[in-house]
Copies of this chain bind each other. A is one copy, B any other.
Amino acid sequence: MPKFSLDDIEETGGTGYPPEFAGVVDGRQARRLTGPAGLTQFGVNLVRLKPGAWSAQRHWHTHEDEFVWLVEGEARLVTDEGETVMRPGDCAGFPAGEPDGHCLINRSQADCVFLVVGSRLDADGAHYPDIDLEAKPGRYSGPGLFTRKDGSPV
């Protein structure tokens, strides 16, 4: 049977960010649900943010759509417009190529949990409006590559 339980999937941390940008995601852990199911066309992750943790550096994707559903606790959604609170039942969508960076930050005193869905497109890169970082295409076919905004190594 293709069934499995969330409890079968380990929550893992870690990030590919360069060390100078990695601290904000220290309290982020994710259950990666589609890989164990043998799916490759999109990713579905159930992400837990400890108090203070960020989902990511604020970013937008060049080629991938992204969708978020807040399941438990409370997070702040940060975009160019500022911050707004997300509570259970709140959703947000970020169309590919829309140049408005986003991330979730847990400013509460309890864990929050959200589901995130994203396409898996090797052409995708990401822009980070607040920091001197770019994600280049190729992170599904290889290890991925971060550079400075001027293309130099980071």
Cβ contacts under 8 Å, A84 to chain B: 1, 3
Number of copies: 2
Number of A residues whose C-beta is below 8 Å from B?
Answer: 42
Check A135 for interface membership: any CB of B closer than 8 A: no
| Residue A2 CB within 8 A of the other chain | yes
Contact with B along A54-69 (1 / 0, CB 8 A): 0000000000111101
Chain B positions within 8 Å of A103 at CB level: none
> Which chain B residue has the least Cβ–Cβ distance from A2?
B92
What separation, in Å, do the CA atoms of A36 and B93 have in the docked complex?
Answer: 8
Does residue A115 face the partner (Cβ distance < 8 Å to B)? yes
For the A-B complex with A44-B117, A117-B117 known, give 16 more contacts whose Cβ atoms are closer than 8 Å: A1-B92, A2-B93, A3-B84, A4-B91, A33-B67, A33-B93, A34-B65, A36-B93, A37-B93, A37-B94, A39-B67, A40-B95, A41-B65, A41-B96, A42-B117, A42-B119
